[in-house]
Amino acid sequence: MLKQLGILVPFFLLTWLLVEKTKFKLNFKDKKLLFLLAVNILPIVLMFLTSLVTGSKIRTMWITPFYLFFGSLFVYLFQAQIKIKNIKPFMIGFIFFFFLSPTLYAYVSISKDDKRTDYLGKEIAIKTQYAWDQQFNSTINVVLGDEWSAGNLSYHLKSRPVWEGIVEREKLDQLKDYMCLDNVCVGSR
């Protein structure tokens, strides 16, 4: 939730730079307003309901596409309060955030080598497949472990095994062959 707020802070700051006073009146008979509210709010509500019902985790960056039309909604709501004289501070703020975002991303990518974007999935999959082929003749069709590590291993293995949750003794006992490496287990039914 804090990351979502961090993503929205520049948007609200730029809106504050552009708008003279933040007064608006909602007229629910206005079809354009209802459309903009439906396009902006309804997908987020449906995603949260889906997450609530199914227990799915919502990743931070998955929700950012839903923010695409927030600008249209805010311009529509504040169209009477937008002053042309405020365009220059708005443009300065926009250019600042426009260059700040990729700069921060580049800094984090270069300075930190333990981020998920640096995961060595192919190399781990090659080592796992080699170790498996040394011990067994069957195909890997099951992966057990935490969602991130096992999911990435499953993605990078040629057989694309199914992820079946965390490692549990009962699950391992149901497999014909299995092998565990670090915190991930691979197996065959």
Q: How far is CA 165 from CA 184, 185, 188, in A?
A: 10, 10, 15
Of 93, 116, 139, which closes a domain? 116
Q: Which of 53, 187, 90, 68 is nearest to 131 (CA)?
A: 187
Q: Which DSSP letter does residue 165 get?
A: -
Cα–Cα distance between 22 and 14 in angstroms, integer?
Answer: 13
Same domain, 61 and 110: yes
| Structure-block tokens of residue 37 | 């509210």
The per-residue pLDDT for 139 is 92
Share above pLDDT 90 across residues of the chain, in percent, rounded to a whole number: 25
**Are residues 143 and 90 both part of a single domain?**
no
Domain that holds residue 21: 2-116
How many folded domains does the chain comprise? 2
Instruction: Based on the fold, state whether residues 24 and 82 are members of the same structural domain.
Output: yes
Q: 84 and 22, same structural domain? A: yes
Q: Tell me the pairing of strands 184-188 and 142-145.
A: antiparallel
**What would the two tokens of residue 30 be?**
């206005």
Strands (E), the chain: 142-145, 162-163, 177-181, 184-188
What local confidence, expressed as pLDDT, does residue 118 receive?
A: 64
Q: Identify the weakest region by mean pLDDT among 33-37, 63-67, 172-176.
A: 63-67
The tens digit of pLDDT for each residue in 80-95 reads 888 888 889 889 999 9
Tell me the pLDDT tens digit for each residue of 152-170.
Answer: 888 889 899 999 988 999 9
